[in-house]
Amino acid sequence: MEAPDIVVPIRVGAANEQLRYALRSWAAHLPHGQVWVVGHRPSWLDGVRHIRTDQTGTKYRNTTVAVRAACEHPEVAERFLLCNDDFFVMHPQQSMPVLHRGPMRQVEAYYATRRSGAYLRGMRETRELLAELGHPEPLSYELHVPMPVDKTGMLAALDAGRHLDVVHKRSLYGNLAALGGTEIRDVKILHRAPRDFGVDSPFLSTMPDSFTAGEVGRFVRRAFPQPCRYEAGRR
């Protein structure tokens, strides 16, 4: 079986050093075919394909547009890994496992104690939609790790959630496609301090500040000091 492509939605912004090190980690540790960046294309990239998309909506709408664009592009492989630009694969993988965060109700309750607004509302509305579609106790796939996706199934999920302005597309797809998988804690490191930082984790993710100024960012940069094939002018 051929290795899946990698699809990465990229917002318009600065040089994106997190993406640079994410690519180094994928090149070293994650079997894959073509890398596709969707939305913005940083000027320093080399050897990747680009799909341009409109980015005038909310961040939630923009990423949904990006995923749909990848699924509808005829040259993107049927199987791909959906990544963010701050997903780091810290140890070699023979193939990317399917991972989830546990029951969606539990994840929703966790966020309800810490935040409100569009993200939490979208989580609740996605869970309610899944219940209507025959999944009364869905799993959450809102993890900061690469997610195996097939284009046909993801397009069906996006169509099912088209009326939601903040659709949790990973969870909608994962449940409708009956992916199952292994439960893990999320690997996103929010703060500079190393108290939440698992040095043995096979996957890590950062915030801009924790990457730039935190111990986790220093750890990632030390792990991948050499440019990879996706960087222009590499030596």
CB 126 within 8 A of CB 168: yes
Residues 6+ apart with CB under 8 A from 28: 89, 92, 224, 228
Whole-angstrom distance, CA of residue 175 vs CA of residue 154: 11
pLDDT at 110: 93
Q: Which of 178, 161, 177 is nearest to 169 (CA)?
A: 161
Q: For the whole model, what pTM was predicted? A: 0.95
- The domain defined by 5-223 folds into Spore Coat Polysaccharide Biosynthesis Protein SpsA; Chain A (3.90.550)
Q: Would you place residue 235 in the very low, low, confident or very high pLDDT band (cuts 50, 70, 90)?
A: very low
Q: Identify the burial level of 194 via C-beta atoms within 10 angstroms of its C-beta, where 0-12 means exposed, 13-18 middle and 19 or more buried.
A: middle
**Tell me: the pLDDT tens digits for 54-64?**
999 999 999 99
**Tell me: the pLDDT tens digits for 185-207?**
999 998 887 656 778 999 999 99
**Domain boundaries, given as residue ranges, for the chain:** 5-223
Bridge partners for 108 per DSSP: none
Q: How many percent of the chain have pLDDT more than 90? A: 89
For residue 65, what are the CA distances in angstroms to 11, 79, 140? 12, 18, 21
Q: Would you place residue 14 in the very low, low, confident or very high pLDDT band (cuts 50, 70, 90)?
A: low
**Tell me: the pLDDT tens digits for 103-112?**
999 999 999 9
**Tell me: the pLDDT tens digits for 116-148?**
799 999 999 999 999 999 999 999 999 999 999
